[in-house]
Structure 1
Amino acid sequence: MEEAEPPECPVCLQPYDAVSAIPRVLTCGHTTCEACLKQLPNPFPNTIRCTVCTLLVKFLNCPSSLPKNLDLLHFSSALQNRHRTKEKIVNSPSPHPPGTKHFPPTVNSWSYEVYRKWKKWILPEDCISIVEFGSESDGGGVCGTVLKYFESDHVIGSVLKEGETVGLFVIGVFVEDQANSKYFNSSYESRIAAVLCRMKEEDKTQLEVILCASLRVNNVGKAYGFWYNEDDKCVYIVFEKFKSPNLNCVLKQKESEEGDLSTDEIRGMAMLGLEACEILSRLNSEGLIIGFLSASSFGFDDFGRVCIDLSKILNTGTRLNMAVRRGFKDSEVDLFQEDYVFISPEMLLHFLVKDGFDLDLGKSRYEVGSASDVWSLACLLVRCIVGKSFLEEIEPFLNSVVNGTKDKTGCDYSDRPVITELWRCMRELIIKPQFDTGLVLKQDVKKEKSGQSVVLGELCYIVEKTDINKEVGEDVEPSVDGDVAESMSIGQVKCTEMKGHLDCITGLAIGGGFLFSSSYDKIVRVWSLQDFTHVHSFKGHDHRITALVFVDGAQQLCISGDNEGVICIWEANPPFSELPLKKLYEAKDWRYSGIHAMAVSGTTQHLYTGGGDKLVKAWSLQDYTISCSMSGHKSVVSSLVVSESVLFSGSWDGTVRLWSLVDHSPVAVLGQDILGNVASVSSLCADRHLLFVGHENGSIKIWHNDVLLKSIETHKGAVFSICKKGKWLFSGGWDKTISVQEISEDVLEMEATPIGSIACNSTITALAYWNGKIFVGQADRIIKVYHGM
């Protein structure tokens, strides 16, 4: 077969492509590149003369508003792949079974229910960037900067401003085989959901309480949501970070000055403690117990009021946990060198128990509660007033707590004052009792029972529990020929290649136990669905085949149409014949030609074709005559699909028209009142009352009857094919990726959750789903089958 020349513009003679020479279709049906249309003279206002037929056509001086010639882009892509491919072209299908490639495993799986619960907390992928890792003297942790403005959905007033600094705390690592990324790439959202799914239910409950409490309590660093960093594969909670220096910086400044604190400075420290007591009291009422505080935990807002930085506390807790673990093994707890961390004895014992140390607590009694925060805050305030000498006194005490667990002497840490008592002491330092006219607070605060409150330090363990490199198959049993979408989440997927075509694949149809494929090589090939081997070839077209359907009726048929308006009808039962049963010919028009789309109605026994003449034709499958022609589209009819007694036709004019299958009368028009540039319809898929419309700009619009439910940006370039099975939506196109999404069943709250994508090495031109397998037709002549193991 002679090497075909790439299609080129009739004016500049440059080959068409999707960047520099974009083919645009004029209203007369001919094509010229976008760059030339800008240069052609306008004989009259809003008109231009076609360079091919010389007709005067309407032109609004905006070439981008004209539809692209997707057929030429298809053909151009196929030729580009052919030139790049150096492998030898096989003239006949291989008699041997095709090879099978296995996906590398991934251990992460997630559920739509988890994603739906937490989706409001997921931040955009490109809104945060890590700028630095905090030093231990500053409380440790990771800092990030906001790249673009973002307003949170879950609370009014939570706004991330561009250039703002935020605190980050890692809650888990997305574990994935590095080699797997060349096949199946999990989506940004699914990676976050996978980490959340790996958490235990009690961990997720604690996480939810912490996030909500950060929004309800004033003067606490707000939690904006979750963000996934591709570089280190970690999922972070993004927290508000205070711009002013923290208390640690204030202490260092005071230590550089000589002399003791003055009376006014002591009262200032008391005011600080007063505000800290009020914040901790509100956190305790939300069920949050910190149990360890440091100087870097407290910051100041723009008005000089004390605030608690949750990201600093969480990162300090992680380091503290490691120090406690190391200190217990070394018989010394070294916690106060840089950050002035004050951990209550009961929290220290809690950490040790959590770390799995087999402790004989003997007579020790401890209960982590609001009194733990009293002890920690009181120590911090004393440290601020007394100075470093206090560290020398408190460190041996904590070492004695650890040693007490070893020698079984024990101690009672359960009897502690409540936080209102500490608040009263701070108030008396500021206002003398005889001048204090405020109401006396009652001391009837109920103490919490063990296990009722959420300990903030618990979050320090979550990253350790989610970062688990499990062997594949430990939790999930691999299925035999399982559903491809279900198998993708656990990595149990195979890819089989079917080779034999000599040019770009243009259509796939399944029926009668066979896969039928059409191509620009003018041949329809038949493949076995059992072992994916080639069975037969239909040869009857003299031009490029552009559309293919299967008819499952009293007589099973395979029908193909080409770019010259010729329709070939083949018997789809073995033994297959070389010649078609019937050939149909559309009336030729020198301006318009070719069939772009076909669909079949089993109820009315009609074949529907759409093409360059802007008409939708109904052909009777009884006598093979044209029953009627449906007009209304203003450009090429590119896609057809039948569902629920309705025929849907998509066009390059950007609209979808609905036709009644009863009398072929128009029912509705979708998309004609949508503002903006024309986005040609490149593919359709219908599932009961839902319609999925793929456009050449990469978007997919979801319609319910005549109501637009959702518009999603899934691809970079035209969406050439869509198919849906159950809750799974597959789409592929110009960007060489197959997008996998989970569609919610609730029409009122329609959600399209991105699961991930499959990277292909060529443009995807056709998709078909059957028995848990997804069949992919590509521009490089190859058909791929993805199926579960």
Structure 2
Amino acid sequence: MELPELPECPVCLQNYDGASTIPRVLGCGHSACEVCLAKLPHRYPETIRCPACTQLVKYPQNGAAALPKNIDLLSLSLSLSPPQNPNPNSDDPRKPRQQSADEEVFKFLPRLWSDEFYSAWKDWVVGYDAVLVEKEERARLCDSGAAVGLVQVGFLERLGDSKFEFSYNVRVMKCLSEMTEEERRELGLLLRGSGRQCRRIGKVYGFWGNVEDGVLYLVCESQNGRFEEKLRGLRNGDGFGRDGLCGFGVIGMEVCEAVMGLHSEGFVGGGFGVSCFGFDEFGHVFVDLNEVLVMGRKVWRSVGDSVSGRKGIGAEEMGVMFGSLLKDEAFVSMEVLFEVLKKEGIAVECESSKYMVGYGSDVWSLACVLLSLLLGKEFSEEIGNMNHICDHSMYASWIERVGDLLDSRLGSEYASLRVTLCKCLNYDPASRPLVIDVMICIRELIIKPQYDIMAGLERPVKENSTSCCLILGELCQMPKKMSETQKEHELQGKEVGGGADFDQVDEGRSENGFVDGLAEGKVKSKVLQGHRDSITALAVGGEFLFSSSFDKTIHVWSLQDFCHVHTFKGHEHTIKALIYVDEEKPLCISGDSGGGIFIWSTCSPLGQEPLKILYEQKDWRFSGIHALAFRTGYIYTGSGDRTVKAWSMQDGTISCTMSGHKSVVSTLAVCDSVLYSGSWDGTIRLWSLSDHSPLAVLGEDTSGTVVSVLSLAADRHVLIATHENGCLKVWRNDVFMKSIKMHNGAVFATGLDGKWLFTGGLDKTVNVQEWSGDEFQTDFRPIGSIPCDSVITTLLCWQGKLFVGYANRNIMVFYYGK
């Protein structure tokens, strides 16, 4: 047998019993228990928010006990056998699921990515004006002047021929969302490793999009020029002589520490060159991730050019390829090169291709860097003989020759360093020493072994498993992929994929819609012409779009094909406000600067004369009707005499005059049971629609600065106001949340549909924002903009269409069309 649904308090979820839980009726018609009502916050005097519908209602001065009891709920509760209190944390299948505000989305505006994806990546977007490019792939940060390197990782969203322009942030985020999961995983590892402030790894600042060439770059710390300058003479000459071994020891130890820092973050470089290291501002050596990635891409490009169209290569060709890379100071170990060839689908005739890539691979590359610094040209010449790496005997003889060069440079005094460096060049990675062992041997050039305390410390060996090998990763393979993607990008600018966070792909991405369609040219636009002066208001109702103008007329347009249907004439003054009402019969209501309120029938056939005309009483303060709103039998007008008036639809009389504003009431909005009025005095007043009493005042500036309110948009808990100075202010449950600069100049129009906010004004631009938030914070994400050729005076969102009215007499309609 199905259990009865017992009445309960919406706050404490306790059943009403008439003793401890007494239902009290609020002005909105909902009930809550007396105890909970007394504990709810009273943000404004004599008002309270209903816990059921969240509307502001009147609250008596002497408390909840003065509110009437809900006798019906109490009788029902007492007449039924009370079951045990339900668990408030469980979902009752008997209760219908209510659609939340977060689920209300503008029909043709998709969620481009999830909130989790946006939160994970938004802080890594470098501002478009934060980087100054000096030359190709070299730049500086504008705020600090620090040198940075730029590594191409993708392409920004192309604008194409569409009038819609994605914002800079959206173009960067969309590029990230289109990457593969593995590419984003590697980028996430680099960003997180840099975020832990390991000073042996160069900083990764984030992603910067060059809007001129349409390329997205990874911005990395790069002091490579300073490092090259300090070591150029040594590397191009004979390296460090015996008198300079102490200097080599200092630099060599720093290089070893930098490689160990990279390993501590779970990275294997896969290969290094002298250019992969730099000096930071404190004179310490760090790994330049920018140069490591650049060198890795050089390896892939070189291999690709050598084996293009082939299925296998021999040992001799392998040796030539390996020697060519070493001559270019791309010191990659044999096992890394074998792995690159394997990923290219190339079979290698060499038994040594079985070795795995790991931390030992970096030891081989590290030894080559140290030998290049220590021996100079002698090592460079010896590298030229590296053409038989697949022949073990010939490779062993090459190591012996390198050892002889070290003997002549170091002498017998530092034999242990010679032995260690030669072991680093072993074919088998497992037989190579650890990086820390190499560093200890180099310390002997500075500190005698008997005085080196560190040499006797126990050193745990980390397992040879890694999170990411940079050279073998997706980031270094990107140029090959991007060369194909770039062609599609240039021709079509297609969009793919999506993402959720650093390591996951977003599976919940919506289908193409309004914003995507605008960028792809799939959203069509149509210009409606006919007015002879600036458009002042737009309204939709029935099968028609209504537009008013300073030319004192109202044009009626078909929503089917946007053709002109009819013109309402009769106003003697400029029309400033327009609304559509659908009660007993559909009506169009307009208000003009002379105080006239015209009521027009929209039933077919459309007539020439208004059904009724109402006039405000004029006095010396009068300046006409500036705003209109409607709710259940009343027309509300915002007037130049600083009042809001409620007009009865039955007899056309003024039922109530709401006073309080100190200047023109410029805009009105109705949401649930509250009327919002915005004024040139900079404030927003809330009025109860049940008795037209004042509820609250928002936006009072104690500093004395007054910025006119020009438009309002209300949706359940959220109120958005736009101002004359281009700012937008947000309140949630009447609590001020945020103020942001949205436009350069006055914002005359705003439209809110679900999470999508459209604003337009004096700067001739329609901005599209996605807003999100809760009781603690509000966030606006710039999606894009529509540049216009005239000032935007009004706009309207309706069923996936965007109507924009201009000061140049035209109306633009944007709608989805395949």
- Report the counterpart of residue 119 of structure 2 in structure 1: 116
User: 1:320-367: CA deviations, max 9, x gaps?
Assistant: 432333345595436568863312222223333445546566661132
Return the structure number with greater helix share. Answer: 2
Is 2:591 the partner of 1:561? yes
- Report the counterpart of residue 170 of structure 2 in structure 1: 190
The separation in 2 between residues aligned to 1:399 and 1:626, in whole angstroms, is: 100
State whether residues 199 and 462 of structure 1, in contact with CA within 8 Å, keep that contact through their aligned partners in structure 2.
no
- Report the counterpart of residue 237 of structure 1 in structure 2: 218
State whether residues 122 and 189 of structure 1, in contact with CA within 8 Å, keep that contact through their aligned partners in structure 2.
yes
Q: 1:109 to 1:618 in 2, by over 3 A?
A: closer
Residue identity matched to 1:145: R
- The equivalent position to 1:721 in structure 2, one of 749, 752, 758, is 749
- The equivalent position to 1:687 in structure 2, one of 703, 715, 719, is 715
- The equivalent position to 1:146 in structure 2, one of 132, 141, 148, is 141
User: 1:452-497: CA deviations, max 9, x gaps?
Assistant: 4342563223455464426577969xxxx98524533654211122
The separation in 1 between residues aligned to 2:586 and 2:332, in whole angstroms, is: 78
The separation in 2 between residues aligned to 1:502 and 1:630, in whole angstroms, is: 35
State whether residues 707 and 724 of structure 2, in contact with CA within 8 Å, keep that contact through their aligned partners in structure 1.
yes
Residue identity matched to 1:350: E
**Structure number with larger C-alpha Rg:** 2
Alignment of 1:644-663 (within 5 A): 644-663=672-691
Q: 1:475 to 1:213 in 2, by over 3 A?
A: closer
The separation in 2 between residues aligned to 1:424 and 1:273, in whole angstroms, is: 10
The separation in 2 between residues aligned to 1:320 and 1:243, in whole angstroms, is: 20
1:440 offset after TM fit, Å? 2.7
State whether residues 608 and 618 of structure 1, in contact with CA within 8 Å, keep that contact through their aligned partners in structure 2.
yes
Q: 1:176 to 1:693 in 2, by over 3 A?
A: same
- Report the counterpart of residue 12 of structure 1 in structure 2: none
- Report the counterpart of residue 7 of structure 1 in structure 2: none
Residue 245 of structure 1 aligns to a residue in which SS?
Answer: helix
- Report the counterpart of residue 85 of structure 2 in structure 1: none
Alignment of 1:329-348 (within 5 A): 331=317, 332-333=320-321, 335=324, 340-348=329-337
- The equivalent position to 1:631 in structure 2, one of 659, 664, 678, is 659
The separation in 2 between residues aligned to 1:635 and 1:172, in whole angstroms, is: 53
Residue 532 of structure 2 aligns to a residue in which SS?
Answer: coil
User: 1:390-444: CA deviations, max 9, x gaps?
Assistant: 123334436746999xxxxxx8656543323322322334333333333534465
Residue identity matched to 1:312: E
Residue identity matched to 2:171: R
The separation in 1 between residues aligned to 2:813 and 2:576, in whole angstroms, is: 21
The separation in 2 between residues aligned to 1:109 and 1:401, in whole angstroms, is: 51
Is 2:573 the partner of 1:573? no
Is 2:357 the partner of 1:368? yes
1:187 offset after TM fit, Å? 0.1
1:307 offset after TM fit, Å? 2.2
User: 1:607-626: CA deviations, max 9, x gaps?
Assistant: 11112211111111222111
Q: 1:483 to 1:384 in 2, by over 3 A?
A: closer
- Report the counterpart of residue 423 of structure 1 in structure 2: 439
1:747 offset after TM fit, Å? 4.4
1:306 offset after TM fit, Å? 1.8
State whether residues 224 and 288 of structure 2, in contact with CA within 8 Å, keep that contact through their aligned partners in structure 1.
no
- The equivalent position to 1:286 in structure 2, one of 265, 269, 272, is 265
State whether residues 273 and 329 of structure 2, in contact with CA within 8 Å, keep that contact through their aligned partners in structure 1.
yes
The separation in 2 between residues aligned to 1:309 and 1:364, in whole angstroms, is: 29
Residue identity matched to 1:237: L
User: 1:251-294: CA deviations, max 9, x gaps?
Assistant: 3222566x773435223222322222223223212111112212
Residue identity matched to 1:251: L
Residue identity matched to 2:184: K
Residue 456 of structure 2 aligns to a residue in which SS?
Answer: coil
Percent of paired sites with the same residue:
45
Is 2:532 the partner of 1:550? no
1:600 offset after TM fit, Å? 1.1
The separation in 2 between residues aligned to 1:214 and 1:397, in whole angstroms, is: 36
State whether residues 345 and 413 of structure 1, in contact with CA within 8 Å, keep that contact through their aligned partners in structure 2.
no
Residue 176 of structure 1 aligns to a residue in which SS?
Answer: coil
User: 1:620-642: CA deviations, max 9, x gaps?
Assistant: 12221111222222221111101
State whether residues 691 and 702 of structure 1, in contact with CA within 8 Å, keep that contact through their aligned partners in structure 2.
yes
Alignment of 1:51-66 (within 5 A): none
- Report the counterpart of residue 779 of structure 1 in structure 2: 807
- Report the counterpart of residue 67 of structure 1 in structure 2: none
Is 2:214 the partner of 1:199? no
- Report the counterpart of residue 505 of structure 2 in structure 1: none
- Report the counterpart of residue 57 of structure 1 in structure 2: none
1:113 offset after TM fit, Å? 4.2
Is 2:141 the partner of 1:170? no
Gaps of 5+ in 2: 1-109, 394-426, 498-510
The separation in 1 between residues aligned to 2:494 and 2:260, in whole angstroms, is: 47
Residue 623 of structure 1 aligns to a residue in which SS?
Answer: coil
Residue identity matched to 1:208: G
Residue 633 of structure 1 aligns to a residue in which SS?
Answer: coil
- Report the counterpart of residue 612 of structure 2 in structure 1: 582
Residue identity matched to 2:190: I
Is 2:212 the partner of 1:224? no
Q: 1:108 to 1:490 in 2, by over 3 A?
A: farther
Residue identity matched to 2:370: L
Alignment of 1:187-586 (within 5 A): 187-216=167-196, 217-242=198-223, 245-246=226-227, 248-254=228-234, 261-328=240-307, 331=317, 332-333=320-321, 335=324, 340-355=329-344, 357=346, 364-397=353-386, 400=389, 415-438=431-454, 440-442=456-458, 444-449=460-465, 452-455=467-470, 458=473, 459-462=475-478, 465=481, 467-468=485-486, 469=488, 471=492, 483-485=513-515, 487-488=517-518, 490-586=520-616
- Report the counterpart of residue 749 of structure 1 in structure 2: 777
The separation in 2 between residues aligned to 1:423 and 1:727, in whole angstroms, is: 57
The separation in 2 between residues aligned to 1:547 and 1:325, in whole angstroms, is: 67
Residue 397 of structure 1 aligns to a residue in which SS?
Answer: coil
The separation in 2 between residues aligned to 1:236 and 1:173, in whole angstroms, is: 9
State whether residues 482 and 788 of structure 1, in contact with CA within 8 Å, keep that contact through their aligned partners in structure 2.
no
Q: 1:219 to 1:473 in 2, by over 3 A?
A: closer
Residue 778 of structure 2 aligns to a residue in which SS?
Answer: coil
Q: 1:485 to 1:244 in 2, by over 3 A?
A: closer
TM-score by length of 1: 0.76
Residue identity matched to 2:376: G
Q: Which moved more, 1:237-246 or 1:630-639?
A: 237-246
Residue identity matched to 2:367: A
The separation in 2 between residues aligned to 1:132 and 1:185, in whole angstroms, is: 27
Residue 232 of structure 1 aligns to a residue in which SS?
Answer: coil
The separation in 2 between residues aligned to 1:419 and 1:243, in whole angstroms, is: 23
Q: 1:448 to 1:574 in 2, by over 3 A?
A: farther
The separation in 1 between residues aligned to 2:382 and 2:627, in whole angstroms, is: 84
1:788 offset after TM fit, Å? 1.3
State whether residues 320 and 335 of structure 1, in contact with CA within 8 Å, keep that contact through their aligned partners in structure 2.
no
Residue 565 of structure 2 aligns to a residue in which SS?
Answer: strand
The separation in 2 between residues aligned to 1:706 and 1:131, in whole angstroms, is: 49
Residue identity matched to 2:240: L
1:244 offset after TM fit, Å? 7.4
1:110 offset after TM fit, Å? 5.3
Gaps of 5+ in 1: 1-106, 134-141, 149-160, 405-410
1:147 offset after TM fit, Å? 2.8
Number of paired residues?
Answer: 646
The separation in 2 between residues aligned to 1:448 and 1:280, in whole angstroms, is: 15
1:709 offset after TM fit, Å? 1.7
User: 1:207-233: CA deviations, max 9, x gaps?
Assistant: 011111123212322122222221111
TM-score by length of 2: 0.74
The separation in 2 between residues aligned to 1:482 and 1:325, in whole angstroms, is: 37
1:579 offset after TM fit, Å? 0.7
